[in-house]
Amino acid sequence: MSRTKSPDIKPSEITDESIYRSRRRFLTAASAAAAGLLLSEGRAVGASPRLPLLAAHPGPYSTDERPTSYQDITHYNNFYEFATDKYSPATLAASLVTHPWTVTVDGEVHRPGTYDIDRLVRMYPLEDRVYRFRCVEGWSMVIPWVGFPLNRLIREVRPTGNARYVKFVTVYDPKEMPNQRTDLLHWPYVEGLRLDEAMHPLTILALGLYGRVLPNQNGAPVRLVVPWKYGFKSIKSIVRISFVEKQPLTTWVRAVPSEYGFYSNVNPQDDHTPWSQARERQIGDFLRRPTLLYNGYGDQVAHLYRGMDLNRYF
């Protein structure tokens, strides 16, 4: 694991929330310019220029905290398929082709299928959701995602009575992802949720951020976002979603089971060597702040773990 020190970010580089919130009024008055922006974004990252990200409407559950700047969100990333430091993925991921792209849904479902990314976007209205994002290394961000609740897709494919967990798999492309040619981790990257966690309305599939097509280094073209869990649970560049009966063996559980449990809920009392989880540094801030249980989403998700020993099921 790399222990890269968080950069010192100038307060002037953080986008003011009022500017972000007024984006739609600007776009309504300049729809042609917005369309051109979306087209250029799509070409830049190899994604579909048809993704209607700029038409997303405000979604529920958003925090009222000021979002981290677009520059920091897109240039300080964990993406181990490309690099173990935080700065290289923005450059190394640039050549990854993210359109065309398909996501296969299989396993214990009545309606398995393969979804082209454009079809997936057309199926559901997109929402803006500003979520806290907490990394196990002790840093955090506030990210304005664009996506839709995963539970809409789950209802579409109709899980069988045997489905208890959802397994997610990242693309395997050693030509474009240099660390997949090494034994740094067991590839491809695998993550999982319990079915009720996947069905929770906070859990989304994200296709963009700040109203733009999701950059490659942030997990283009589609990634999971589970805001009450540590960031490594929010798997990037998904190609397969499988509904299974048994708890899947996830990548970090396979690698370091004593430190990275299946649940990985944000918990200030549960340290991960060598990082304490008691406090965090939000990128853009100078001082560290106390870490909140479930990343501050306890009112929404604590009932999912009622009666569970959080030290055992970490």
- 280: domain CATH number is 3.90.420.10
Note whether residue 114 is domain-resident. yes
Q: Is 295 left (phi over 0), alpha (psi -120 to 50) or beta?
A: left
Note whether residue 311 is domain-resident. no
Task: Specify the pLDDT at position 53.
Answer: 66
Are 226 and 234 in contact by the 8 Å Cβ rule? The answer is yes
Task: Specify the pLDDT at position 161.
Answer: 98
Phi, psi for residue 170 in degrees, rounded to 5: -85, 155
Note whether residue 255 is domain-resident. yes
Note whether residue 131 is domain-resident. yes
Q: How many domains does the chain contain in total?
A: 1
Name, in order, each residue with C-beta under 8 angstroms of 62's C-beta and a sequence gap of 6 or more. Answer: 128, 129, 130, 131
Q: Which amino acid is at 89?
A: P
Could you list the mean pLDDT of each consecutive 10-residue stretch along the chain, which spans 314 residues?
36 40 38 33 40 73 94 97 98 95 98 93 90 96 96 98 98 98 98 98 96 95 98 98 98 95 95 86 94 97 96 90
Record the tokens describing residue 259, joined without a space: 């430190």
Task: Specify the pLDDT at position 24.
Answer: 41
Task: Specify the pLDDT at position 32.
Answer: 31
* Per-residue burial over 143-182, b = 16 or more CB atoms within 10 Å of its CB, e = otherwise: bbbbbbbbbebbeebebeeebebbbbbbbeeeebbebbee
Task: Specify the pLDDT at position 264.
Answer: 96
Note whether residue 2 is domain-resident. no
Record the tokens describing residue 164, joined without a space: 């208890």
Note whether residue 133 is domain-resident. yes
Note whether residue 194 is domain-resident. yes
Domain that holds residue 211: 11-304
Task: Specify the pLDDT at position 52.
Answer: 58
CA atoms within 13 A on the CB side of 310: 16
Task: Specify the pLDDT at position 20.
Answer: 45
